[in-house]
Structure 1
Amino acid sequence: MAQDRRPAGRSVRRTGGERKPREERWAQLLDVATQVFYEKGYDGASLQDIADRLGMLKGSLYYYIQSKEDLLFEVISDVHREGYAVVRTAAEPPGDPLDRLERTIRAHVVHECRHLVPTAVFLHELASLPADRRESVLGSGHVYQGVFRDLVAEAQQQGLVRPEVDPRIAGLSILGSTNWVYRWFSADGPSTPEQIGEQLAAMAIHGVATPEAVRSRVPVGRAAS
C-alpha cells in the first residue's frame, strides 16, 4: 500500500519539476531521523545530528518540521501506519478467524523482523511524545492491538476459542509477545522471520483455541503419528 509521507500540514503546492525531489527528501529525512533516534535515543539525538547526516543545514530542516518533537511524531506515525497496514491486510478474509489470526501474527512478526530499526524506535520512543500526540498515533480505540483482539472475539463467537478467554487480554498478550521479537531476533540467527512467525502463531493459537479447533488444525498425517 503506497503511503503519503509528506509532513502533516505542509503545503503541497509545488511545480511539477520540484515536487518529486522534495518528497524524496522528506522520505530521506524520515529514514535518517529514524536511524539517528535508534542510535542515540530521542533525548540524545539533536536536529544538528540529523542535519549533519543528511548533509544539509540545520535551518533547512524547518521547511519540513518545527521541532524535534514534530520529527519524532512523524517517524512514529510513519512506522505505525505501515505496520498497521500489514496487520489489517493480513486480517482480512479468506479464512476463519483462527486462520486469519495465525496469518496476522505471522505477517506482523515478519514485518517486525525486516524493519528492526523503525520497530525499536517506535517501541522505545513512543512514550517520549506527549499523551495527546501518542493518542493521535494509536487512535482512541488502540486500533493496532484491536486487530488481534477482534479476531479472538470473532473466533470465540464461532466456538473456536475457549469461552473463558478474555479477547482483550488475549490480544494484548499476543501483541506484547510478538513485539518483543525485535529484542532478540538476529538476521544471522538460526531461525528466519517466517519460521519465528510460524512458531509464535502456533503457540498463540494453541493458547486460546478450543481443543476441537486445535485438533482440526493439525494436518491429518501428523495427527495419525
Structure 2
Amino acid sequence: MSASTNSTASPAPKQGERRNRDREVMAAAVRIFFEKGYSGASLQDVANEVGVLKGSLYYYFASKEDLLLRIMKESHAQSEEISREIEAKGLPAVDELSALLEALMKWYLGNVERVAIYFNERQRLTGPRLEDVQAEGRRFEQRIYDLLTAAKEDGAFAPELDLRLSVRLFLGALNSVPSWHRPGQKHRMSDTAIAEQFARMTIKSIAP
C-alpha cells in the first residue's frame, strides 16, 4: 500500500475512525518492525503500509520509540489477560500452571511477530520506557514462580525442585518460539496440539 511521502498531518480523525486507524497503525508497525527490525524501520514505512501521511501517525503516538513501547505493553497486557482468565477458573495450582503454559504457547504461536519484536528489540527502549517493560516482565515471571511454589506446596513437585531454575526453563522454551516458527507456518501438528503437548511435556519434565 502506497502513500504520499508528504509529512504534513491530515485533519484529526473522529473517535470511531481513530480507534480503527489505531488498530491499523499498530498492526502495520508490528509487520514492519518484524520484517525490517526496529533500526531498519521508519515511521514513513509504517505510514506507507497504512496509507496515510507520516504526520498523521503523531495522532496515535509521540515517537518511534513510543510506538515500540506500545507493542511491548500490548503484548504484556494480552499475556496478563490470559493469566487472569485461567486464574478465575479456580484450578489446583499445577493444573492452572499447565493451563497457563498451554494458553501462552498457543498465543506465542499466533503472535510470533510480536514475540520476536519483544525479545529482539526490547533493549532499543531507553530510560523509564525500558524500566517499565522490564518491571512488567518481572511481574509476569513472578506469576509463574508463585504458581510453581503453590504446586510444590501441594506436593505436585519434589521438595528439592529449584523454582527459579524451573521458571527459566519454562520461559526459555516459550521465548524460543521465534527461532523455529514463522508467521503463517504450518507444522505437522496444529497450534492447539503443539500447545497441549508443550504443557504436558514441560510439567512432566519437573514432576517427581
* TM-score scaled by length of structure 2: 0.85
- How far did residue 138 of structure 1 move? 4.0
Specify the alignment match of 2:187 in structure 1: 189
Q: 2:69 aligns with which of 69, 73, 81?
A: 73
1:41 to 27, 37, 41: 37
- Whichever residue aligns with residue 144 of structure 2, its letter is F
Q: Secondary structure at the match of 1:101?
A: helix
Letter in 2 for 1:69: E
Does residue 1:137 correspond to 2:133, yes or no? Answer: yes
* Gaps in structure 2 of 5+ consecutive residues: 1-11
Secondary structure, counterpart of 1:139 in structure 2: helix
CA distance 1:198–1:112, change in 2 (3 Å): same
Instruction: Render the CA deviation track for 1:123-145: whole Å, top value 9, x for unaligned.
Output: 21112112531231342671222
Higher relative contact order (CA 8 A, sep 6+): 2
Q: For residues 136 and 75 of structure 2, what CA distance do their matches in structure 1 show?
A: 18
**TM-score, with structure 1 as normaliser:** 0.79
Aligned-residue CA RMSD in angstroms? 2.0
Amino acid corresponding to residue 170 of structure 1 in structure 2: S
Once the two structures are aligned, what percentage of the paired residues are identical? 32
Dislocated runs of 4+, deviation >6 Å? none
Cα distance in 2 for partners of 1:163, 1:37 equals 44
- Provide the secondary structure at the position in 2 that maps to 1:189: coil
CA contact (8 A) 2:112 2:177 kept: no
Cα distance in 2, alignment partners of residues 156 and 93 from structure 1 = 20
Residue aligning to 1:64: 60
Could you tell me how far apart the structure 2 residues matched to 1:74 and 1:141 are? 14
Residue equivalent to 2:113: 117
Which residue is equivalent to 1:95? 91
Distance in 1 separating the partners of 2:88 and 2:36 = 38
Candidates 155, 159, 176, aligned match of 1:159: 155
Kindly provide the amino acid, as one letter, of the partner of residue 198 in structure 1: E
- C-alpha offsets along residues 136-185 of structure 1, whole Å, 9 cap, x if unaligned? 13426712222221111001111211111122221121011122123213
- The letter of the residue matching 2:192 is E
Partner of 1:209: 207
Q: Are the aligned partners of 2:65 and 2:125 in contact in 1 as well (CA < 8 Å)?
A: yes
Greater alpha carbon shift after TM alignment, 134-143 vs 35-44 = 134-143
